[in-house]
Structure 1
Amino acid sequence: MNAIDLFEEERKATVDGYRNDAEFQSLSYAWRESSMAKRYVYNFDWLGRPIIQYPQDIQAMQEIIWSTKPDLIIETGIAHGGSLILSASMLALLDMCEAIEAGTSINPAESKRKVIGVDIDIRPHNRDAIERHPMASRIQMLQGSSVAKDIVEVVSDAAASYGRVMVCLDSMHTHDHVLAELEAYAPLVTSGCYCVVFDTFVEDLPKDFFKDRPWNPGDSPKSAVADYLSRHPDFQVDKEVEGKLLITVAPDGFLKRA
């Protein structure tokens, strides 16, 4: 066994050990709950734009995008745009690395890789900052409800011209809304790619943890995921992703299509 394979085997054994480490898991969940109450998740930027995610989930997204190499990433929920910028920058890196491997030059204007972001309210200062960002040429923003028929049709029509499609759902976190998003966008995900449903951890928090939000245990992204998966066996939860993160807002939310 070579050194690289040995490292991978040792790392897998470490991660596998976490499954039986109840104390470590409990500490991780407790820290997640405490840190969420202290707004820790708001502390980070990606290439200059606020990205309201845990560093662990940012790392997970980087690994997933690199390994699956999507041509289109569809995101619901824009906020300050950090997640759009993360996705766009990863697609730019994919193009760069493929050009280096092929021995060709890079022309960003000719790249077909793209991010589509949907939000019911794109605030003017956020739109302006995203449109002025160096990654802007790879980003298309649509304002409207992510489950509105006209928005879904625009996104679906766009997805039809791409080879590999990934979806990230991070807007309204109620059961009905997330389920409607899954019904609309999960079918666009191509084989071997992911639909990532964020904030499934709402299901694991105390009732009324988010006092100014309508979601709660039983009415959460995780309950919507369970509902959707019961009728769509072509998607499976990738437990390996959260198994090594431990601290994530998306437990049972990394859905991989067969």
Structure 2
Amino acid sequence: MNISDAAKEFLTASIAPKYSYNFSWLGRPIIQYPQDIVAMQQLIWAVQPDLIIETGIAHGGSLIFSASMLELNAACGGNPDASVLGIDIDIRAHNRVAIEAHPLYRRISMIEGSSIDPAIIAQVHKAAEGKKSVLVCLDSNHTHDHVLAELEAYAGLTTVSSYCVVFDTMIEDLPAGMYPDRPWDKGANPKTAVHQWLKSHPEFVIDKDIDEKLLISVAPDGYLKRIS
């Protein structure tokens, strides 16, 4: 068995025991695989975003992670006012309290509502006005239609040479029926949405180099680089 096949076996075996729930970032559960966390650190350093837009907040670990990376960028000469904006249809009260109490909250803002609601989309576009470098992360509802709508709503905010990262594309690579309690499955998920959307958006390409380096990732074909 080669390393690529072994990685696929591990990823499949890791779903049922909820392996991604083992990790936190600066005190908040992040619900990501370590490989993707490292990949995002590399992208945030390379892109030096003024704004990171994230759909899906959950416990807030990803917001705290992004804020901490922006803090490090600023300490190394980057934008001292860089920020992260999170959108979620339901920000649980205890999660909001914990996020707002975090020392890095000064770099964070949150919007509660559906990420595909036109009013919410308008607020996010307003927040992105005038930003020279924007990075987008889509990690909320993983159905094909929802992710496709998010791509249409937010990918265009991605600045040239930056990324729109679509998480949980790995659902397409797993056996059918792995998520019996969810409305997504093989054949209708973030990866199918990405592939459909890319057909009419040549200004983005899949960064296969990232996939080949990570091997274990929830976002294969999901690291989309804007090239024009």
Give me the TM-score of the superposition, normalised by structure 1. Answer: 0.86
Is 1:257 the equivalent of 2:226? Answer: yes
How far apart are the structure 2 equivalents of 1:127 and 1:161? 28
Query: Structure 1 residue 208: deviation in Å?
Result: 1.4
How far apart are the structure 1 equivalents of 2:211 and 2:168? 13
Report what 1:141 is aligned to. 110
Query: Structure 1 residue 23: deviation in Å?
Result: 2.1
Query: Structure 1 residue 55: deviation in Å?
Result: 0.4
Moved over 6 A (4+): none
* Candidates 30, 34, 38, aligned match of 1:51: 30
* Candidates 95, 101, 104, aligned match of 2:74: 95
Q: Write the mapping of 1:31-46 to structure 2, written as runs, cut at 5 A.
A: 31-46=10-25
Report what 2:44 is aligned to. 65
Gaps of 5+ in 1: 1-21, 100-109
How far apart are the structure 2 equivalents of 1:200 and 1:226? 10
Report what 1:170 is aligned to. 139
Aligned-CA RMSD value:
1.1
Query: Structure 1 residue 245: deviation in Å?
Result: 0.5
Query: Structure 1 residue 115: deviation in Å?
Result: 0.3
Report what 1:156 is aligned to. 125
Report what 1:6 is aligned to. none
Q: Over alpha carbons, which structure has the higher Rg?
A: 1
Q: Deviations over 1:40-62 (max 9, x none)?
A: 11000100100000000000000
Is 1:207 the equivalent of 2:186? Answer: no
* Percentage of pairs with the same residue: 58
Decide which structure has greater helix share: 1
Query: Structure 1 residue 70: deviation in Å?
Result: 0.6
SS across alignment from 1:98: coil
Q: Deviations over 1:227-249 (max 9, x none)?
A: 11000000000001111100000
Give me the TM-score of the superposition, normalised by structure 2. Answer: 0.98
Report what 2:189 is aligned to. 220
* Candidates 86, 92, 112, aligned match of 1:117: 86
How far apart are the structure 2 equivalents of 1:250 and 1:120? 22
Is 1:239 the equivalent of 2:208? Answer: yes
Report what 2:164 is aligned to. 195
Query: Structure 1 residue 218: deviation in Å?
Result: 1.3
Report what 1:14 is aligned to. none
